[in-house]
Amino acid sequence: MGPVQLPATFESCEIRTVKEARVLVVDDEPIVRDVLCDILENEGYVVAAAGSATAALETAEPGDFDVLIADLRMPDMSGLELIKKFRERDPHIVPLLITGTPSAECVAAVAEDAIADCLVKPVGKARLCAVVANALLRKRRLEL
């Protein structure tokens, strides 16, 4: 998978509405990645995708994204490792995990405030949109 592709309309802006928020989806499964991106784009979010943790880290700059959705299990790095690396570079990004099976690892990460929430595949549109909207509200509260 190549580098993260940012939309042509991607601009740096400190204050955005929830629907203008920028979301990075990182999942090694193309179908999952494409479905998540399509849902979020149809809801008005600015979305970029990466097929690996390495590709995401190589391309994304601090402040590029408001929300990071990372697959828990990827070949090159776990989603939790990726989130840790992103937070070192950008402490304001709100991370979410997505996983094929609920795990104690996800529950512990939410409890420890390492992630905002954990999504279980297959995730429905309503759940995905609600979790992303809540993550953005959380980000706004933290920035006040």
Got the DSSP string for 30-88? HHHHHHHHHHHHHTT-EEEEESSHHHHHHHPPTTS-SEEEEES--SSS-HHHHHHHHHH
Classified by CATH at the fold level, domain 19-143 comes out as Rossmann fold (3.40.50)
**Domain limits, the chain:** 19-143
Going by the DSSP 8-state scheme, the letter that residue 123 receives in this structure is P
Q: Is the dihedral of CA 135, 78, 76, 120 positive or negative?
A: negative
At 141, list the tokens.
């509260």
State residue 2's pLDDT score: 46
pLDDT value of position 51: 97
For residue 143 the two structure tokens come to 């920035």
pLDDT of the residue at 19? 62
* Low-confidence residues in the chain, pLDDT < 50: 1-16
